Amino acid sequence: MIIRLLGAALLLFLPAAAAAHGEHGSAKPLGETSVVTVQGYQLELLSHPSPLAVGQESHVVVKVFKNSPLTPVSGGTVFIGLAASGAPYDLRPAPEEVWAGSYAVGVIPRRSGAHQLRVILEELEGRHFHPPLTVDFHIAIGRAPGLGVAVWTLLALVSGVAALSLYGVALRARIARPGEGALNLLEIPWLRRLLTSPALQPSLQIPLLLLMGIVVFVGFADIQDGGVNLATKLTWTIWWAGIIFTFLLMGRVWCLACPFGALNEWTARLTAPLRRLPKPFRNIWWATGMFVLLTWADEQLGVVRSPRVTAWIVLFFAALAVAVGLFYERRSFCRHLCPIGGLIGIYSMTAPVELRAKDTSVCAADREKFCYRGSEAAVGCPMFEFVPAMNRNNYCTLCLQCVKDCSRDNLVLRLRAFGKDLWASGRWLLDESYLAVALVGLTLIVTAQMLTAWPAWMSTLARWLPLGVRSELKPVTYLGLVESAVLLGGALVAVPLLILAGAALADRLATPNRLGLRRTLVIFGYMFIPVGLAMHLAHNLAHLLLEGGGIVPVVQRAVALYTPFSLGEPDWQVSPLAAEPVVAFIQMTLLVGFFVLSLVAGHRLSLRAYPDPRTASRALVPLAFLAFIFTVAGIVLLNQPMGMRHGM
């Protein structure tokens, strides 16, 4: 009490301006407006340290003065609470500190961005307020002190690339042979031992099978709230959004560890069927259809928000993989029926790694062909790939079974240019080309459906429906029909027709060296793989970086609920893993970079298709223009206001 009186007396000797705006220790003014007047009282907001930052404990001080004369107000009842925009306030009593009229609480912000700090005055100078006086201060929470996760991650990546580069230079100096191209990674002893170890694949598959079982269990047993259930968060926000980055970097390496592939292959090895899947199924039309169906179900039925439906989807494809393995040999499910198998295949054509035969003449002289046929001691390629003819990544899972089975050491694993398969393989198929084109439309429309303006657009389109249809159906039904028509019609019909028209014009411009409409479409469809991939990457990057942090409290909750352990108290106010401007910059970089790759692929494809370079250049123009239009559309869409769908 004596100390408080001394503090009050000292303040009375200070000039009024100093009393109103003086320092509270080392505290500094906080917020856009740090001084507010309400009903004859003046409130000044300060903090130490200032400004507030994520994860940093700060001392927030509210100094209360009478306006006339300007004197501090002691003995009041004050509450202070901090909240992000739209979130509830964490209001706590603010005890008066040594400096008279100064009321303070400690806060630790959990996320950056715009916040409000609410001050509630219940009693001042014996005067009770009904209702209490409430003052809101608008403040900004900065990022955590220090370099931050994003910068440290970038530094780690740069350091890793530098270390790998130096290691690669040293390896080339030691083991590369004169006249050889890229370094054969299989000549690195420790890497070869690791990749050909019999324990490698099971050590990846078994944990993922257990994780798949956990997803099914919590999908059925836990709360049916997609935002807090591990099944939905792990499957759709982390796996579904993140797996595409593995295709870009390592091709079909996911298939090496995939639990569905494990079930298919193990079942086939146990039952040893000798039949191939019927010929009508040996393409990717079926896989494309299932992928489109899943995408439609995501957008229209909201399966990503239902833990129970997520569990049923996992069980369905697990059962299908086992059933196919019972009747058909090897990994027939993975090769032809996996719903993301076609997608993985065409995106893997861009990966900068390849497994190839060193010398095809050595393969031709090998009568046994154990790498493909298998034997009592050799399994043969699970994906039906014939190594001597393998010149692209579409179906190679990098399991290295062919390396284990080859008695002549005639295989090479090496790095290569991004996207080389798009123009170098010389094998072009209609089902793959159509999928590449459809994915451009699918990724653009799915991204457009995240726009805040999308519902208004659909309502406008729905007005074109006959009045009889709208009167007979509920709005949610006919709006769903309109959305489905836009999604499926746009992706499967409109965009392919646009590219078909571009191919028709390209074929006319190629006179007299015309290829025909079908062949032109099939060949140049591959140049649109980078366009669809870029949009797919940019779309999923936002989910991962802006929503991916939500997996932490979900895991904490699941561990506390189903195990005797604890990973801490879940904090549901999750901060993005990267700031929105950073995410936007990476998205634009991806779109522009892969547009350039699309032009390179188109140029190389046209040079392979036409003997005359001038004809090749003319034929490329309409298709390059379409690639440009789709890229611009993606840039425009990603710069519009959006709502996160997988944040749940």
- Report the alpha-carbon distance of residue 103 to residue 105 in Å, rounded: 7
- Report the alpha-carbon distance of residue 203 to residue 223 in Å, rounded: 31
Q: Minimum mean pLDDT among 183-192, 278-287, 565-574, 629-638: which range?
A: 565-574
What letter does residue 574 receive in the DSSP assignment?
P
The residue extents of the domains of the chain are 2-141, 175-348+353-415, 428-638
Instruction: Specify the pLDDT at position 194.
Output: 95
Highest mean pLDDT among 76-80, 317-321, 462-466: 317-321
Pair of tokens at residue 277: 């899947």
Instruction: Specify the pLDDT at position 606.
Output: 96
CA 99 vs CA 60, 106, 596: distances in Å: 14, 16, 64
pLDDT digits (tens, 9 = 90+) for 77-94: 999 999 887 778 888 999
pLDDT digits (tens, 9 = 90+) for 262-306: 999 999 999 999 899 999 999 999 999 999 999 998 877 778 889
22 confidence band (pLDDT: 50, 70, 90): very low
647 confidence band (pLDDT: 50, 70, 90): very low
71 confidence band (pLDDT: 50, 70, 90): confident
Mean pLDDT of 606-630: 95
pLDDT digits (tens, 9 = 90+) for 521-554: 999 999 999 999 999 999 999 989 888 888 999 9
pLDDT digits (tens, 9 = 90+) for 115-136: 888 999 999 988 899 889 999 9
14 confidence band (pLDDT: 50, 70, 90): very low
- Give the H/E segment covering residue 42: strand 41-48
Instruction: Specify the pLDDT at position 450.
Output: 86
Whether the per-residue pLDDT at 15 is higher than 70: the answer is: no
Instruction: Specify the pLDDT at position 377.
Output: 78
Q: What is the CATH number of domain 2-141?
A: 2.60.40.2480
How many CA within 13 A on the CB side of residue 403?
Answer: 23
Q: What is the pTM of this model?
A: 0.80
Instruction: Specify the pLDDT at position 180.
Output: 64
368 confidence band (pLDDT: 50, 70, 90): confident
Q: Minimum mean pLDDT among 164-168, 178-182, 270-274: which range?
A: 178-182
Higher-pLDDT residue of 473 and 514 is 514
Whether the per-residue pLDDT at 1 is higher than 90: the answer is: no
- Report the alpha-carbon distance of residue 338 to residue 114 in Å, rounded: 44
Please confirm whether the linkage preceding 131 is cis (ω < 30° from 0): yes
Instruction: Specify the pLDDT at position 644.
Output: 56
Instruction: Specify the pLDDT at position 278.
Output: 94
Instruction: Specify the pLDDT at position 326.
Output: 96
Whether the per-residue pLDDT at 478 is higher than 80: the answer is: yes
Instruction: Specify the pLDDT at position 196.
Output: 93
Whether the per-residue pLDDT at 43 is higher than 80: the answer is: yes
3-state secondary structure at position 546 = helix
* Contact (CB, 8 A) for 111 and 53: no
Mean pLDDT of 414-435: 93
Give the pairing type, strands 58-66 and 41-48.
Answer: antiparallel
Nearest to 300, CA basis, from 543, 547, 533, 486 = 486
* Contact (CB, 8 A) for 342 and 287: yes
Mean pLDDT of 253-263: 95
Higher-pLDDT residue of 204 and 373 is 204
- Report the alpha-carbon distance of residue 51 to residue 53 in Å, rounded: 6
Whether the per-residue pLDDT at 9 is higher than 60: the answer is: no
Q: Minimum mean pLDDT among 393-402, 407-416, 617-626, 636-645: which range?
A: 636-645
Mean pLDDT of 590-613: 95
Whether the per-residue pLDDT at 645 is higher than 60: the answer is: no
The percent of residues in the chain predicted with pLDDT above 70, rounded, is 92
Higher-pLDDT residue of 51 and 420 is 420
Mean pLDDT of 97-121: 85
19 confidence band (pLDDT: 50, 70, 90): very low
Residue 17 burial (10 A CB sphere; 0-12, 13-18, 19+): exposed
User: What is the average pLDDT value for the chain, to the nearest integer?
Assistant: 87
What letter does residue 240 receive in the DSSP assignment?
H
Instruction: Specify the pLDDT at position 8.
Output: 41
Instruction: Specify the pLDDT at position 28.
Output: 64
Whether the per-residue pLDDT at 230 is higher than 90: the answer is: yes
Q: Please give the torsion angle defined by the CA atoms of residues 426, 432, 437 and 442, in that order, rounded to the nearest 10 degrees.
A: -150
